């Protein structure tokens, strides 16, 4: 073990990462010759270990990965954990609301009256499917629509949902965020949660420094060529949601005029938007939120103390 760790470190791999990788290899593969071969390949090509093994771990489950998809990151686990916390708090609130009968204006995630107790989630840019699968495994009574622009990616995500026995809860769909299909999703569905880890590495940042990252799909890291700033996916997602939100707010005000209750519950549509973010983009994101009149938001840090999750309450 020590010798293999040393070899990885000499090849430029960080010591703690090298130790982790060798432990994984020893757990996964019993044949020491095979381990040696993988380490050789790892050093020669700097291909991420997850691609060499064909699998990765996310939270408490396993998915297949290959160069079609981004290798799931620990930061995205934080996004899922923090989002689940907010959903659980909102659901508790909902129970309290039902009990007290007089807190109609409370923020609520899933309205039983509106959705027959089924929470509906949209996962934008699903990649290997990890975010959708994590929600499907954690929450009962849930329906997830998971989209990606690439049909090969959707094929792998569907396979991963099957591997994790949650295929009944997730509908995978090929859909480009910048096409009318994306707006169509909001016409056809009423989402309680919209979540995304969009491509946010600005194309103007040049090629990734880390050799491993160069093996990952550009479409996952930066997305389309136009994404020079790293912001275009956020711009698109926020503007579509803000427009939808504005229409619904107007509708609910109209209801109010007719003497009906105007509450988030009465609006009967999206309640929370959760986005993974790149810390240097925070100021630009705040400007985008202001421009779209989305003023009720929260930024949550990761374990390194960096701004990592953006929650917008709608």
- SS3 sequence, the chain? CHHHHHHHHHCCCCHHHHHHHHHHHHHHCCCHHHHHHHHHHHHHHCCCHHHHHCEEEECCEEEECCCCCCCCCHHHHHHHHHHHHHHHHHHHHHHHHHHHCCCCCCCCCCCHHHHCCCEEEEEECCCCCHHHHHHHHHCCCEEEEEEECCHHHHHHHHHHHHHCCCCCCEEEEECCCCCHHHHHHHHHCCCCEEEECCCCCCHHHCCCCCHHHHHCCHHHHCCCCCCCCCCHHHHHHHHHHHHHHHHHHHHHHHHHHCCCCCCHHHHCCCCEEEEECCHHHHHHHHHHHHHCCCCCEEEEECCCCCEEEEEEEC
Minimum CB distance to ligand SAM, residue 4 (Å): 28
**From 89-97, 186-194, 207-215, 218-226, span contacting ligand SAM (CB under 6 A):** 218-226
User: Which of 69/265 has CB closer to ligand SAM?
Assistant: 69
Decide: is 121 part of the binding site for ligand SAM (CB under 6 A): no
> Among the candidate windows 41-49, 102-110, 143-151, 284-292, which touches ligand SAM by CB under 6 A?
143-151
Does position 222 interact with ligand SAM (CB under 6 A)? The reply is no
Residue among 199, 202, 230, 264 that touches ligand SAM (CB under 6 A): 199
The site that binds ligand SAM (CB under 6 A) totals a number of residues, namely 24
Q: Is 197 in the site for ligand SAM (CB under 6 A)?
A: yes
Q: Which stretch binds ligand SAM (CB under 6 A): 18-26, 42-50, 149-157, 202-210?
A: 149-157
Return the range that interacts with ligand SAM (CB under 6 A); candidates 7-15, 19-27, 126-134, 258-266: 126-134
Q: Which is nearer to ligand SAM, 4 or 70 (CB)?
A: 70
Task: Give the residues lining the site for ligand SAM (CB under 6 A).
Answer: 69-70, 72, 76, 125-128, 130-131, 147-150, 153, 176-178, 197-199, 219-220, 223
């Amino acid at each position: 073990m020590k010798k293999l760790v040393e070899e990885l470190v000499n090849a430029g791999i960080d010591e703690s990462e090298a130790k982790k990788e060798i432990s994984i290899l020893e757990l996964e593969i019993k044949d020491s010759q095979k381990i040696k071969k993988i380490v050789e390949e790892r050093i020669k090509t700097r291909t991420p270990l997850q691609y060499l093994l064909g699998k990765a771990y996310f939270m408490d489950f396993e998915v297949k990965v290959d160069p079609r998809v981004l290798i799931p990151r620990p930061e995205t686990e934080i996004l899922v954990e923090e989002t689940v916390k907010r959903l659980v708090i909102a659901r508790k609130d909902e129970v309290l609301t039902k009990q007290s009968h007089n807190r109609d204006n409370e923020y609520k995630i899933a309205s039983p009256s509106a959705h027959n107790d089924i929470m509906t989630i949209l996962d934008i840019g699903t990649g290997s499917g990890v975010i959708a699968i994590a929600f499907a495994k954690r929450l009962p009574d849930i329906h997830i629509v998971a989209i990606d622009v690439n049909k090969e990616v959707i094929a792998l995500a569907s396979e991963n949902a099957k591997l994790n026995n949650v295929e009944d809860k997730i509908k995978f769909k090929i859909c480009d965020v910048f096409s009318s299909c994306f707006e169509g999703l909001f016409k056809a569905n009423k989402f309680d949660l919209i979540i995304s880890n969009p491509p946010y590495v600005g194309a103007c940042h040049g090629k990734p420094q880390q050799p491993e990252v160069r093996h990952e799909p550009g479409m996952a890291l930066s997305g389309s060529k136009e994404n020079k700033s790293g912001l275009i996916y956020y711009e698109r997602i926020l503007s579509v949601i803000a427009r939808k939100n504005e229409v619904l707010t107007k509708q609910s005000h109209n209801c109010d005029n007719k003497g009906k209750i105007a509450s988030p519950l009465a609006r009967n549509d999206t309640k929370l938007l959760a986005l993974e973010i790149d810390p240097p983009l925070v100021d630009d994101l705040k400007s985008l939120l202001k421009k779209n009149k989305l003023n009720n938001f929260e930024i949550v840090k990761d374990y390194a103390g960096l701004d990592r999750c953006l929650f917008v309450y709608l």
